[in-house]
C-alpha cells in the first residue's frame, strides 16, 4: 500500500512540474489584471514548489524501502492462504483493520457485548 501511495505521489509531483513548465506562466499572466490575485498566485505556486521538493525524497524513500518482491504472492492471495478457513462468511465484508483482530480478542469482545446486553435487558425489565 505504501509503495502505491509513493508511486501516486511521484505521479502527482511529475504532473505538477510539467504544468509548472508548460502552463503556469500563462496562468499567472492571466491574473495580472488584479495585482493581488497575481501576487497570491505567485506565493501559492512558490509554496507548492517547496512542498513538492520536500515530498519528492520522501516518495523516493518509500519506493525504495517498500518495494514489492518480484516473485511474491499478491496481498489478497497471501491473506487468503494465511487466514484460517473457520472464519464466518460475514467477516469478508469488514474493513481490513477489523479483519486483523485476533480471534481471541474478537471472542472477548463478543463476550463483553453479550454481558452488556444482558445487563441492559435486566435494567430495562
DSSP letters, 66-100, are TPPPTTPPPHHHHHHHHS-TTS-GGGGGS-HHHHT
pTM of the model: 0.51
Q: Across residues 87-96, what is the average pLDDT? A: 55
Rounded to an integer, what distance in angstroms lies between the CA atom of residue 89 and that of residue 8?
A: 33
At 87 the pLDDT is: 53
Q: Could you tell me the residue ranges of all domains in the chain?
A: 2-65, 96-125
Q: Does residue 114 carry a pLDDT above 70?
A: yes
Q: Dump pLDDT digits (tens) for 25-59.
A: 888 788 888 888 888 888 998 999 999 999 999 99
Rounded to an integer, what distance in angstroms lies between the CA atom of residue 22 and that of residue 37?
A: 20
Percentage above 70 pLDDT, the chain = 67
Q: Across residues 1-30, what is the average pLDDT? A: 87
Helical axes 35-65 vs 2-22, angle rounded to 10°? 150
Q: Across residues 88-116, what is the average pLDDT? A: 63
Amino acid at each position: 500500500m505504501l509503495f502505491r501511495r509513493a508511486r501516486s505521489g511521484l505521479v502527482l509531483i511529475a504532473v505538477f512540474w510539467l504544468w509548472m513548465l508548460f502552463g503556469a506562466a500563462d496562468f499567472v499572466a492571466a491574473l495580472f489584471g488584479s495585482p493581488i490575485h497575481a501576487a497570491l498566485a505567485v506565493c501559492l505556486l512558490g509554496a507548492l514548489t517547496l512542498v513538492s521538493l520536500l515530498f519528492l525524497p520522501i516518495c523516493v524513500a518509500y519506493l525504495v524501502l517498500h518495494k514489492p518482491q518480484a516473485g511474491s504472492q499478491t496481498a489478497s492471495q497471501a491473506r487468503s492462504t494465511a487466514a484460517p478457513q473457520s472464519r464466518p462468511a460475514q467477516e469478508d465484508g469488514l474493513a481490513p483493520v477489523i479483519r486483523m483482530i485476533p480471534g481471541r480478542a474478537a471472542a472477548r469482545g463478543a463476550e463483553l457485548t453479550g454481558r452488556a446486553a444482558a445487563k441492559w435487558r435486566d435494567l430495562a425489565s
